[in-house]
Amino acid sequence: MATLTTNLFWGQGERDHRLYVTDGHWPTDMAGSVFVVGPDNRQPGGHWFDQQGLLCKINLIPDRKGRVVVQHRRIKTPLDRIRNRFPKLFKTLLFMEISPFGLSNLANTNVQTIDDRLFIGYDAGRPLEVDPETMKYITPVGANDEWLQSLPGLLEPGISVAAHPASDVPDNRLWFVNYTPMPINRRVFVAAWDLEGPIRRWEVEGIGEFDSIHDIKVTEDYLIFTDLPFVTEPQVFQGLPPSHPNKDTTTMWIVSKADIAATPVGGKVPCREIIVPMPTGHLSVDYANPGGKIRVFLEHIPLQDLMVMIHREEYSHFTGGLMNPNHEGLVTLAVQPGCVGKYVIDGESGHIHESEIAWDDRFWGAVLATKDESSTKARDHQGQLWYTSLGYDPALVPETWWQLYANAGLHSLVDPDELPIEPVPAAIARFDRESMKVAEVFAIEAGAFAHPPTFVPRRGATDPDDGYVVCIIHRDGPKEVWVFDGMDIERGPLAKATAKDFNPPLLLHSTWMPPRPGKRPSSYKIPLSRDLRGATRQFFPLIGGLLKAGKDIAKLEAAAAKAAKAEQAGSPELVDQ
Ligand SMILES: [Fe+2]
């Protein structure tokens, strides 16, 4: 029997809760709110990521009765409303949804804040803005015709924009990566948006092979983005397992702001490409880059495969038993210890001056991390990183994963042959990125886990990393919100709050926002009519492009098959046989 709670995907949709503090004291020097977004799952089944976004807001100042108010609202885009009226027009394909209107922007992956505004990121759609006070959808960022489109749709054509944009606070700007997701005829753009007005894009030259791009960060002089191993092989759509393991390296690309400034919008800019061992989920950087040296921190995810998910016919490699159907949809996250890599890189040459990794055998199955990004000092020089994990459970190692990864000889921290035979509990860990040590690990009771963690600065704090880490605790029975002292995780939670019906589903990323001082500081809004025009104008050209890409892929496959046959025919071993 797996130790992990089975209470992952039994969400309740839009619902408000008032949580009572049942243990400890809720800190009185927190302000603002924690926002979490994720798929609005209400029962197990399908893929964790395949539902419309649900936004959760944890109000950090309790109400007059001392209760912590938690609100949940769906991201009600125009397409979400159409889906509610005409559900039969929509079809779920693994973690995606298609319809004649295009590739649905499920708006379920990331929350990002800048200038008292809140944005939702989704890798296969444009960023969206929501109002942090009302939690209502406001507008997409950029009209359809401002982005590189890759799949046709009447309202939401496929537009791949990395779910994590970079908040350039000194310049009051968001930076994005917009690219074609297909491995043929690749194009990659960096895009700037000044929180008003048009999206400006520049095409990046010199990008090598990659599967997908999920995260971009910014320093005073550079943009840095990394690839994410996320291959969708065609047979996977028919319910068959992937046939290849993910790549075991990270590719980073660095683009100079100076090159962008010297290039007209729409022009081409160069990049430096750097490859390091072990793939990466997310990254962080110091905004300051003295002497042109960039300090980059990569959250490595060795042997992790977001396409190998638990389903009803999946067997556990170690127990031989069928997986619990309540875990259906969970992806293979927990097969290695959590690991952070530090790389000091010359922004101009791409030369790596320093590299170092930190991990701890008490901390397995890392999922998401949080950092202090609330002040100039904290952004300029990254200090602590708080990471939460699912732990490790041999009963949750899928046979499909084992077949792909056990003997693949890929970069890892612990060889698959040496995986623990006993479960390792879920935990919250503090990585000290100065000493590159795992400074603290707090293990959570068997079966429960914290996800996601969110750093909240102490009100009036003057030093970076002075604050709290707020987590939702997923467990059997009512879920909880825990608050840790950021610099004393091992002391355990300072406060626990819950209510008997509090049962949010497993969501994804989170962020902290201070209270908004007034009204939304913008009237930016893309009219629906412009979006429709931008989508329909590209509809037939994109279909033509897809047909051509299909022919190109068929030609490449035929050439590869021919080459393989010729190699076999000329192979001395085969001749000897
Ligand atoms: Fe992410």
Return the pLDDT at 74. 96
What burial letters (b/e) apply to 424-459, b meaning 16+ CB within 10 Å?
Answer: bbbbbbbbbbeeeebbbbbbbeebbbbbbbbbbbbe
Inter-residue contact 142 to 525 (CB < 8 Å)? no
In a domain, 458, yes or no: yes
Backbone angles phi, psi at 55, to 5 degrees: -100, 130
Q: How far is the CA of 322 from the centre of ligand 1 (A)?
A: 29
Inter-residue contact 397 to 317 (CB < 8 Å)? yes
> In percent, how much of the chain has pLDDT > 70?
94
Question: From CA 478, how far away is CA 69, in angstroms rounded?
Answer: 15
Query: Any idea which of 27-31, 361-365, 427-431, 536-540 has the lowest mean pLDDT?
Result: 536-540
Q: Is 451 helix (H, G, I), strand (E, B) or coil?
A: strand
Q: How far is the CA of 299 from the centre of ligand 1 (A)?
A: 11
In a domain, 552, yes or no: no
Q: How far is the CA of 122 from the centre of ligand 1 (A)?
A: 9
Candidates 290, 285, 211; CA nearest to 254 is 285
Question: From CA 482, how far away is CA 19, in angstroms rounded?
Answer: 11
User: When comparing pLDDT for 548 and 299, which is higher?
Assistant: 299
Return the pLDDT at 573. 44
Q: How far is the CA of 415 from the centre of ligand 1 (A)?
A: 26
Q: How far is the CA of 573 from the centre of ligand 1 (A)?
A: 46
In a domain, 255, yes or no: yes
Return the pLDDT at 556. 64
In a domain, 3, yes or no: no
The total domain count for the chain is 1
Question: From CA 529, how far away is CA 478, in angstroms rounded?
Answer: 45
Q: Is residue 572 very low, low, confident or very high in pLDDT (cuts 50, 70, 90)?
A: very low
Which H or E run contains 475? Answer: none
Q: How far is the CA of 63 from the centre of ligand 1 (A)?
A: 32
In a domain, 225, yes or no: yes
Q: Is residue 550 very low, low, confident or very high in pLDDT (cuts 50, 70, 90)?
A: low
Q: How far is the CA of 225 from the centre of ligand 1 (A)?
A: 13
Which residues, including other chains, have CB under 8 Å from residue 555's CB and lie 6 or more apart? Answer: none
Which domain does 69 fall in, by range? Answer: 16-237+244-517
pTM of the model: 0.93
Backbone angles phi, psi at 361, to 5 degrees: -65, -10
Query: Any idea which of 155-169, 241-255, 363-377 has the lowest mean pLDDT?
Result: 241-255
Q: How far is the CA of 113 from the centre of ligand 1 (A)?
A: 15
Q: How far is the CA of 368 from the centre of ligand 1 (A)?
A: 8
Average pLDDT, the chain: 92
Question: From CA 119, how far away is CA 222, in angstroms rounded?
Answer: 22
Q: What is the CATH number of the domain that holds 505?
A: 2.130.10.10
Q: Which two tokens stand for residue 244?
A: 């290849």
H-only helix segments in 154-244: none
Return the pLDDT at 574. 42
Pairing of strands 96-99, 91-93: antiparallel
Question: From CA 383, how far away is CA 540, in angstroms rounded?
Answer: 50
Q: Which pLDDT tens digit goes with each residue over 120-179?
A: 999 999 999 999 999 999 999 999 999 999 888 889 999 999 999 999 999 999 999 999
For the chain, give the number of residues. 577
Q: Is residue 577 very low, low, confident or very high in pLDDT (cuts 50, 70, 90)?
A: very low
> In percent, how much of the chain has pLDDT > 90?
79
Residue that the structure tokens 């990569």 belong to: 298
Please name every residue paired with 190 in a beta bridge, in sequence order, or none if there are none. 177, 202
In a domain, 119, yes or no: yes
Q: Which pLDDT tens digit goes with each residue over 414-428?
A: 999 999 999 999 999
Inter-residue contact 511 to 60 (CB < 8 Å)? no
Question: From CA 448, how far away is CA 469, in angstroms rounded?
Answer: 17
Q: How far is the CA of 134 from the centre of ligand 1 (A)?
A: 24
Q: How far is the CA of 66 from the centre of ligand 1 (A)?
A: 33
Q: How far is the CA of 127 from the centre of ligand 1 (A)?
A: 13
Mean per-residue pLDDT, 62-81: 96
Query: Longest C-alpha distance within the chain, in Å?
Result: 85
Which H or E run contains 161? Answer: strand 160-161
Q: How far is the CA of 463 from the centre of ligand 1 (A)?
A: 27
In a domain, 429, yes or no: yes
Residue that the structure tokens 């000290």 belong to: 432
In a domain, 464, yes or no: yes
